[in-house]
Amino acid sequence: MVERQLRCRAIRDPRVLAAMLEIPREEFVPESGRKHAYADDPAPIGHGQTISQPYMVALMAQCLELKDTDTVLEVGAGCGYHAAVLAALAARVITIELIPELAEMAHQNLEKSGRAGNVLVVCGDGSQGCPELAPFDAISVAAAADDVPVPLLEQLKDPGRMVIPVGSSWEQELRVIRKSNGEVTWHIATFCRFVPLRSP
């Protein structure tokens, strides 16, 4: 996976590559899908949700330029895999999941894989962020929004970085957002397709 899907597609951050090598992706997918755990595709995890393809997980982590002192907010815990990767790169990860069954799955997967030590799984509305634990050095959003939610921008530190898919259900752009000296700028890292960011 790392050699064929990541290195050859411009994933160069050595810490990201090490995290992707270290974390067993098959432990985060349902038993029935484990033989395809390392395929270069998203995979269903139940409740109409997916685990992102390995390349997208690595790209988003690389775009955040995480330091081992950072606190990260992740929106869309899913099965917990992306949170595990972020946790290998940062000091603390708070991951929010709207669907209670998936929040519990993420928590269990992180516990079983030994990755729960610096990850807090919260069941709630990710579009509203987690104001009681803000601000965050970085925010990673694993669901597509029509536009960048204002609460997430408000909870991002200055300076800070956010990665989020923005667009319709059929066509999205992965935006890398930077806040610096009160100014917000962004660029497109790639085009993508994520499940929609949902609210209760």
Q: Kindly list the catalytic residues.
A: 52
Where in the chain does DSSP place strands (E)? 43-46, 49-51, 71-75, 92-97, 119-123, 136-141, 156-167, 172-180, 183-192
Please report which residue ranges of the chain form alpha helices under DSSP H: 14-22, 54-64, 81-87, 100-112, 150-155
Q: Residues 97, 182, 127, CA angle at the centre, nearest 5°?
A: 15
Neighbours of 31 (CB within 10 A): 7
